[in-house]
Every structure is written in structure tokens, then in C-alpha cells.
Structure 1
Amino acid sequence: MTSQPNAPLSSLSPDDLAAFRAAKQEEYAALQARGLKLDLTRGKPSSAQLDLSDALLSLPSTTKDRSGTDVRNYGGLEGLAELREIFAELLWVEVDQVVCGGNSSLTMMHQVLVDLLLHGGPGSERPWKDEPSIRFVCPVPGYDRHFSMLADFGIEMLTVDMNEDGPDVDAVAALVRDDPSVKGMWIVPTYANPSGAVCSQEVAAALLSMPTAAPDFRVFWDNAYAFHHLTEDEAKSADALSIAAASGHPDRPIMFASTSKITFAGAGVSVLAASAANKAWYLKHLAMASIGPDKINHLRHVEFFGSPDGVRAHMRKHREIIAPKFDAVDAALTSALEGLDVAQWTRPTGGYFVNLDVLDGTASRVVALASQAGIALTPAGASYPLGQDPRDRNIRLAPTFPVLAEVETAMAGVATCVALAAAERLQASRGTSEDS
């Protein structure tokens, strides 16, 4: 090849592009021959991360909370006070705004949505199910489980771009200002899934104060990664509840968080924080489904962490394990793809994912190539409602679960797949252009 390896692929001559593709096909054949079986599909904690919390298995050391109440019994619907205090400080909210529940914040989100559908919430004129239509604003790329939850209820999803400082505020404002059927929106404000974006104070203030046609418009503020820093420069989450209250819309945000990626993914604790009216409304309906959460698990976590600083110290241990994996993703992609102008990827400072945008029309092909080489990736477009990425370019990378060596191997393979798919696409487009 006469062109430099890092020249934009689209600038190569037909002969050089053909030679590049042939070289990548050789690399890919060698990759297939290795018989790999690697999985980067879900953002799960690794075994090493789970091991950090094994002391939980011998806790709690007592059966009573600090008030002397036996945690083995019924009651305490809003959760153990000691645990609520820890998360109130971590989430920049007041203790009396917090409810602690079971192991899944997704369950809390689902419960809130179901209750809004069946009953309406504070400020609602009627149950949402009785509205002519319901629509939600969905920043993209975003969290697939948020979208699948809406799809399960037949709620229409309206997409807006997720920028580096949060959702496109002007696009959101245009959707919510005059249409009362737009009842809510999702946002992962800190280290967003999958882009790693952090919602700025300015964007948060705009979202929580902008006029909406629906009087009961809700922002599902999913702070899933608020404590999941990858560097010492730790982003601070916007104080959504205070911002909303100050702007005259105290009931707009409902905040969620959990320890699913902090302690045990299947046996952690979840958190909801909301205005007094929203909290009372939530507990009223929760009381029909529960007589109290797992307070033994609550007490176990209180003893394990001890304080908010205990959580922070624990998360630094997580960072030591997973930050090198994110560095490995960047190193592999940079080494193989930088300068080719066929891919862009994020370098997040927190969270669990790397967002990879490849050449338009090639994401599905990249995922298929990787699969045929024994590397499982999240389906292309999974970060869009109904899995439909109109540009077929987005892939969510999840490097936390495999060991570091596997991440390095997998990402080198992914980079080969990205380059090969791009070369195929460019050759095909040139052939079409020449034929026409």
C-alpha cells in the first residue's frame, strides 16, 4: 500500500482500499482461527468486583437497628433510617425524601410507571391509562431497559440527542411545550449509559424548570452510575430535587439509584428519592404490595459501609479493578482505528460503558463479524428505542465483566471487525457509484 496506514479510509485509491480490505480479511481469518469465546454484552460487575463485598455474607452482626427495632419482622416501608441517611448524603438529597427498597432500582421505576398508569400522580388530572395517548422523551443513545419498559406498555418514544452535557435541551423543550401527551422522560444524568455523558447543572436546571403542557410531567432521574468514577476527577450529580423545587416544579423529578454495581448485583439495595408529595404517593401504593423491605439486607449494608465515606472508599476499589479495562478499550481502538475516520468512541470518566459509533450502515455487520469470531457484543442499535438505530452505527461496549486480558483480546478483535466492515462498505459504495 502506498498510503499511510492512518490515512482516512475514504481517501484511499481503489487499489489501496482493496489491499487494506485484503489485509483486514487476513487478520479476521486469524481471529476466527483462535476459537475465542468472549462476552462484552452486558455491563455486569466482574467476579473480582463482587469479591470486594464478600464481607456482607457474614453480616449483620445484630438483629436490631439503632432504634432497637427487630429487622427480622414486618414494617418500615420506607426502609432503614441508617441506610437512608447514607444515600441521602451521597445523592445530595434530604433523608426525609428517601425510600430504600429491594435489590433493583429498575423494579422501583417499573412500580412508579405502573402506578402513574393506573392511578395518576400528584398533579394528574386522571390516570395515565385514560389519556388519549402517552409519549416519553428518550435521549439517545440510552439505556435499553428504559426503552423496553416503555415498549412493554405501548408508550410511544420520542428521541432526542444525548450530548456531552446531557440531553438536547432545545429538542426536549420543543416536544414538551405544547403536547400534553408527552408525560415524561428518561435521563441517566451522571456517566450516562452508554455514552458516559454528565448532565451539566445548566442542562439539569433547564430540564427541571422548562414549561410543559402536561401538568404531571415526570423526569425519571436514573442515577445508576452516580458513584462509579473511573478517575480521581469525580463528577458531581446535579441536585435535581432542589433545582426542581426552586423552579416551582417539585414533583417533576423522581430519582433512582442502587448498589447493584456496588455490592452484589443480585442482592443489593435500591433507592428512590422524591418530593414529599411524590414520596407519600409512592408509599401509599407500595403499601398495597409490601409490608416492608428486606431490612436485614439494609442493616447488612449499613454495617458494611458504615458511612457515606465508606461507600466512596469502596468505589475506589472498584475503580482500581475496572479503570484499566476502559484504558484497554481505548488503547485497542486508538491503535487500530485512529486516523482511518471510520469510528468514534467515548473516553468516559465514569460509568460502565464505552459508546462506539462506526461508519454509517456497518454496526450490524461489525456485531455479526465479531460474533462469528467468538466475540459477543450487545446488538447493534440496542441503545435506541425498539433497537432501531436509523444510521446503523451505534454499538455499546461493556468491558467490566471479562478479565483484563480478555478485554484486550476482544477489543483488538472488535477493531479488526470495524475496519473490515468499513472497507467492505466503502468498496460497495464505490462500486454502486461507478455503476451508476
Structure 2
Amino acid sequence: MTAGLDAARAEYADLVDRGLSLDLTRGKPSPEQLDLSAPLLSLPGDRHTAADGTDCRNYGGLHGLRELREIFAGPLRVPVDQLVAAGNSSLGLMHDCLVYALLGGLPGATSRWVDQERIAFLCPVPGYDRHFALCERFDIDMVPVPMTDEGPDLDVVARLVADDPSVKGIWCVPKYSNPSGVSYSDRVVRGLGSVAAAAPDFRIFWDNAYAVHHLTDEQVEVADVLAACAEGGHPDRPFVFGSTSKITLAGAGVAFFGSSPANVAWLLGHAAKRTIGPDKVNQLRHALFLRDEAGVRAHMERHRALLRPKFDLVRRVLADRLGDTGLAEWTEPLGGYFVTLTVPDGCAREVVRRAAAAGIVLTPAGATHPRGDDPRDAVIRIAPTYPGLGELEQAITGLATCVRLVGYEKALATA
């Protein structure tokens, strides 16, 4: 082990001397991925009329263009009449749903959330930092729930929601979860739909961000949460969110909301006070560009051709550099945008700090947990999508060096 530490120290000194400047902080599409949607910038040309005759240049149409909703109803598992096409941000829709629930109440609620003493959300961990940031913004308590290889631990969920009416929701990324890559099993989806909750307005915030973002031929399908909740006696429970942000242009896409008819009417009723309608010109160009569900699948195959080599590279480098050390484990996702690296307890923050000192910037350790507090200090989220292969290999090789250095230092200090 001493020899391993000596070698890691020498490798790290060389790494620092190289003066790198590499960034793996966020899961952004690469420029090459964005180039796949370049034709959007010349659409809709001189056309401005939707299939139903709507003049897309004008006000109105809160529900969004039907032809675009028809394209995404299948991938999102939402009937077209219960799917809303909105602005460019699904995160914005989640924000608005929280605000409307806080200030206006929900179907089935006994009062507005803001009038209640405590509001809490269940947060599967490791999870998505922007979900946690929304809770922090609105002073919503966050209750961690462990993730299993099927999704959130149903026994823990059932216990937490059964007796506490202040537990109003749960965050879910059901397919290729951020950051673990886990996809929810049918059992978990059915369980979330049927679990008895003390709060009559308990909601599942179903962030289906990676609905069509496959990395392999094994294309995972997740059960229909709307159907599961209806069968479980709770048709108003799910809020389904999705977007084209990692399909077309990340800053100029279209976001979707799907739910029961009552919830759709609730959302649109509140949204009507906020806006006179979405950007229907952008929705029209997306419908013309993608054409149909088969067009979405073909487009995502082009994304996969760009992304798969990056995830293969991460797997190869981690295996080569860390596979025989006992110092790390990592996920090998079938889709999505992230790899989760787990290092020895008490080491993640120091690994991230050493990497930053060597010019490799990572997502902060702890970002995968509410309020940035990973009690084990062991989880690091790797976002390999944006850099080119050359930069990515340098970054992952350097990260592995930092893991070896910190891991061997801790092992010797506690021996």
C-alpha cells in the first residue's frame, strides 16, 4: 500500500504540473450533439400555421400544439389530451407547480401548502441537485430515501408517507436516474401509485428527463405511472415532466407536463394568470423537425452514436486505473447522462478538492444529497457528455489518480 501511495503522489505531482483546465461539472450536451439539431434554426421557414389552423405567431394556445404533443405522448406515457407543451424548461414547470401548490392549493388538498406548519418532500439519494435546490428555495424539508437497484426503497417511502400529512411529495427520475442510472422496476412504480399517504394532496414529481436517452441496445421501458396511480386509487397523484432539452437545443427546447385531467385543468388555470400562451413557433419548428415518434427515435440514435464512446471510455479508464485497487466502485448506466463514482467513506470531498487543484473541476461532493450533505462523503457524480474524447480521457485519468492518492492516504492513516 505504501508503494501505491508513493506512485500516486508522483502521478499527482505530474498531473498538477500539466496545468489542465477541464470541467466535468454539469451534464450538458456537447456542441456536436447540438449540431444535430441545427436545421431547427431555419424552421419553420415561411410557415406559421399549425395542423389545426392555429396561427403560431399569435397569442393563445396554453395547452400547446397538438401535433407536438402527439409526438411525445408515447415516449412520456401520457395521453395526448392530458399532455401540456409549454416553454423551454421542465425545471421551470416544476418550480411553477410548487409555487401554485404553495399559494393556490392542489386538487384534493384541504388547504394551501403555505398555510401549513411544515411541508416535506422525499428525496431519493443519490439524486438531482436542482430538485433539492427547489426545496431549499421554498423552505421545504427534505427527507432522504435510499435508492435501490429498482428505485427508491418502497418500505421507507411507505413508512414516511403513511402517518405524516406534512409529506407532500417525492422527487423521481424514473428512467436512467440522475446520477445513478437506475431505472424504476414495475413493482416500484405500482407501489408508488398505491401506497397509502396521510396527505390527500401527496404528489409524485415524475421527472422523466431521460425518457428516450438510451446508450445501449437494451432500451429500458418504465411502467406507466399515470395508469399505476389510477389503478391504485390515486389518479391525481403523478405530475409527469419532460422536455426536449437533451434532444434538440438545450436552451431552446420545449417542456411538457402530463397528469390527470383535474391536474391539467389546475395547472392551466394558474398558468393563464402568468402567460397568454407558450412559444408556439418553437413548438411548430420542433414538430416539423422531429415529424413523429419514429423521428425522435432516429434522432436519439444519432445522439447515442456520439455519447456511447464517452461512456465506454469512462468505464475503460476507471477499470484500468482503479479496478484492482478496492478504492472505488462506479455505475455502468444503460442510458442517461451520468456515472456515479463511489469512493471510500470520508474521501469524496478531498478527491474533488485535489482534482480542482490539478485543474479538473467536478460537481461538488455532496451535490447528490439534500443540502449538499452526503453523510458518508463517498459519492461523486461524473458528467462525461460535454468534453471531447481527448479531454475526457485526461479528466477521468486525472480523477482516478486523485482517488488513488486520497484513498491510499486514508487507508494508511487508519491502518
**What aligned pairs does 1:341-356 form with structure 2 within 5 A after superposition?**
341-356=326-341
User: 1:237: how far off?
Assistant: 2.3
Spell out the pairing of 1:179-328 with structure 2 (5 A cutoff). 179-328=164-313
1:107 maps to what in 2?
92
Residues 26-59 of structure 1 show CA distances to partners (whole Å, capped at 9, x for unaligned) of 0111111111111100000000000000000000
Mapped pair 1:34 → 2:40: no
Question: Following the alignment from structure 1 to structure 2, what is the Cα–Cα distance between the partners of residues 110 and 152?
Answer: 10
Q: What secondary structure, in the 3-state scheme, does the structure 2 residue paired with 1:321 have? A: helix
Secondary structure in 2 matching 1:288:
helix
Q: 1:47 aligns with which of 31, 34, 38?
A: 31
Give TM-score, length-normalised by structure 2: 0.99
2:396 is matched with 411
TM-score (norm 1): 0.94
Partner of 2:377: 392
User: Which of 337, 360, 370 is residue 355 of structure 2 equivalent to?
Assistant: 370
CA positional deviation for 1:426: 1.1
Contact 1:139–1:161 (8 Å) recurs in 2: yes
Matching residue's letter, 1:203: V
Q: Name the CA distance, whole Å, in 2 between partners of 1:67 and 1:155.
A: 42
Distance in 2 separating the partners of 1:175 and 1:269: 34
Question: How do 1:75-224 residues align onto structure 2 when only pairs under 5 Å count?
Answer: 75-224=60-209
SS in 1 for 2:87: coil
Matched, 1:379 2:329: no
State the shift of 1:339 in Å: 2.5
Count of paired positions: 414
Given candidates 25, 28, 41, the residue that maps to 1:57 is 41
Q: Deviations over 1:231-268 (max 9, x none)?
A: 01111122111111111100000000001111100000
Quote the offset at 1:219 in angstroms. Answer: 0.4
Name which one, 1 or 2, has greater alpha-carbon Rg. 1
- The answer to whether the 8 Å contact 1:91/1:237 transfers is no
Distance in 2 (alpha carbons) for counterparts of 1:69 and 1:287:
18
- Alpha-carbon RMSD across the aligned residues, in angstroms, is 0.7
State the alpha-carbon separation in 2 of the partners of residues 98 and 191 from structure 1. 22
Q: Deviations over 1:81-106 (max 9, x none)?
A: 10111111221221111000111000
- Out of 397, 405, 410, the position equivalent to 1:420 is 405
Q: Could you list the structure 1 runs, at least 4 aligned residues long, displaced by more than 3 angstroms after superposition.
A: none
Question: Which amino acid in the other structure matches residue 280 of structure 1?
Answer: A
Looking at structure 1, the residues matched to 409 and 342 of structure 2 have their Cα atoms a distance apart, in angstroms, of 17
One-letter code aligned to 1:135 = A
Whichever residue aligns with residue 30 of structure 2, its letter is S
Structure 1 residues 63-88: Cα deviation after superposition (integer angstroms, max 9, x where no partner): 10012221000010010010111111
Deviations 1:390-418 (A, max 9, x none): 01001000000000111111101111100
Distance 2:71 2:126 in 1: 31
Counterpart CA distance in 1 for 2:282 and 2:217 is: 30
Task: Note the alpha carbon deviations across 1:124-167, whole angstroms, 9 max, x for none.
Answer: 00000111111110000000000010011111100011111100
Partner Cα distance (1:99, 1:92) in 2: 13
Cα distance in structure 1, aligned partners of 2:325 and 2:75: 42
How far did residue 372 of structure 1 move?
Answer: 0.9
Q: Is the 8 A contact 1:102 1:268 kept in 2?
A: yes
The match for 1:23 is 7
- The separation in 2 between residues aligned to 1:329 and 1:218, in whole angstroms, is 36
2:160 and 2:305 map into 1 onto residues whose CA distance is 42
State the alpha-carbon separation in 2 of the partners of residues 23 and 341 from structure 1: 16
Amino acid at match of 1:76: G
Gaps of 5+ in 1: 1-16, 431-436
Following the alignment from structure 2 to structure 1, what is the Cα–Cα distance between the partners of residues 63 and 233? 26
Measure the CA separation in 1 of the matches of 2:136 and 2:294.
39
- The answer to whether 1:337 aligns with 2:322 is yes
Q: What are the Cα deviations for residues 243-302 of structure 1, in whole angstroms up to 9, with x where unaligned?
A: 111111000000000011111000000000000000000000000001100000000000
Corresponding residue number in structure 2 for 1:433: none
- Identity across aligned pairs (percent)? 57
